[in-house]
Structure 1
Amino acid sequence: MDIEQKQADLIQHFVKQALAHKGPTLAPIIVEATSHPSLFAFAEILVVPNVAELQGTEHSMYLELLRLFAHGTWTDYRSIAGSLPPLVPDQVLKLKQLTVLTLAETSKVLPYDRLLHQLDFTNVRELEDFLINECIYAGIVRGKLDQLRRCFEVQFAAGRDMRPGQLGSMIQTLANWLVTSDGLLLTIQEKIKWADTMSELDKKHKTEFEEKAEEVKKSLSLKAVMDYQGQEIFSEGGGVMDFDEDRVPPKRSLLCIHIKETASVTLKGHKWGQYLSSASLVLVNCKLQRFCLSE
């Protein structure tokens, strides 16, 4: 059985007990409820009519005791101990546990010095044993003991009964949280939409680039063949001018020169040339140079 369900069952049990008793017979029920190791909520018992009727009677101290466990702390008890029934050890332990929950409502880092003062422990060893065995293992808080910094870092703390007048501030806190959450959700949705749009644009640009690159490759191949054939016709057609045979570039060298010049002009002049780095052009020239020298 989880903690929440166990709490609900215990509350229901003590509410039924309170409804079935009146006056002085309510005292042992209140003592039992405030001593129970698994009960940390008392508001439902407080609103039972039979319990509320203790106000102004000789047994009103038990009503005040129940109010202390619903909303108070160990420090509060020390200030009014004279007007309340003496606490049994289980009640002392319970009230100190509830004090930790109250402190965790306003701060997620609880210094050891503050806890030692609020809980009346004499040394750190006692405090750490209490936090581990009576709070963490009990499931009412989760956190980490930082011995180097001398503090308890709270990660989770069970809630206590709402104090009178606290409902308004809680509603405002929840309203502020809702506004913040709505704003955050809108921002996340806008970011997702922007990411989807950029992804589609990236795919489109990639496809266009691949198509243009293929066109450039085909254009280069065709132009190189045509230039080479034209050079062949010029060199083999014969002419009236006599050139030194050693000064006439071989056919393969002429082809290399034309391919390199055509590639450089075509790629640099094309609007997609921005995607081709200088290193890529150098690599093309090097490969062509190796091709020409292998003649």
Structure 2
Amino acid sequence: MLAPQYATTPFAVANQCRRFEGQVAIVTGAAQGLGRVIAHRLGQEGASVVVADIQGERAERTASQLSEELDGIFVPFAGDLSEAGVADRMATQTRERFGHIDALVNNAAALIRLKLVDMSEELLQKGVQWNVWNTLRCCKAVLPHMLEAKYGRIVNIGGEAWRVGLPFHTILAGVGKGSMVGLTVTLAGEVLRDGITVNCVSPGGIETAADGDLDPLPPSGFRDPSWNPPEVMRAMGQEMVARNSLGMGRLAHPTEIAAAVAFFASREASFATGQHVGVSGGMAML
């Protein structure tokens, strides 16, 4: 089957590295989109990867696909990581199977784009639960293992919308992704001399459909269409054009984000911690 062509295909980043031989990485929200590409990149560089996602069947399918494609080890984990005990179970199972946890990439998120006044109480709760609690619980779950080993890499996936004040992003970016920056810095300070680094990579717009799945499944029930109504997406696009905040004028290919994540998750990034790096094509700059 021929791979579909996307607008960002010419900008796909080819991997030239093998930095993760013998290492174990957990990637959350890895069943599809950017998370799938990050899992692919780390596995391509030699890591054994836990493909964690709330969508259990999709996680199993992705792990199977990547294992076959790369002849590597990809293990699915299904569960709502925002719930107490689930992230702990994931970390324990990973440690029991592989003996260590070298990297955690906190990618899982609930992409709810609505104005605050239009959000129901249920969506407010989900927005915080699936954009904040999941990351906090995953960090707390892997830290004892990393502290014991005196080594670890934690990479949080943020987003640039909070830096440019993009409408419809108060919960997703202002509370969710924006909080990743504060968490990154303060947690990095907690483990500064324990061999563990914590960094944050913030994308802008990504062509997430270009995730390498040659036979993508239709949207699942987990991603409710009402979270991103067509009229909201149109208004958001118009706002970005009006503000001239499109940066390079295109979406990112997900491999462009995954390349930055792979660096911060690697041993090479030994002296970089507490850093927030925008990989958004100039959507936001220093």
TM-score in terms of structure 2 length: 0.24
Q: Which has the higher contact order (CA 8 A, sep 6+)?
A: 2
Q: Which has the higher strand share?
A: 2
More helix by share: 1
Q: Provide TM-score, normalisation by structure 1.
A: 0.24
- Rg (Cα) greater in structure: 1
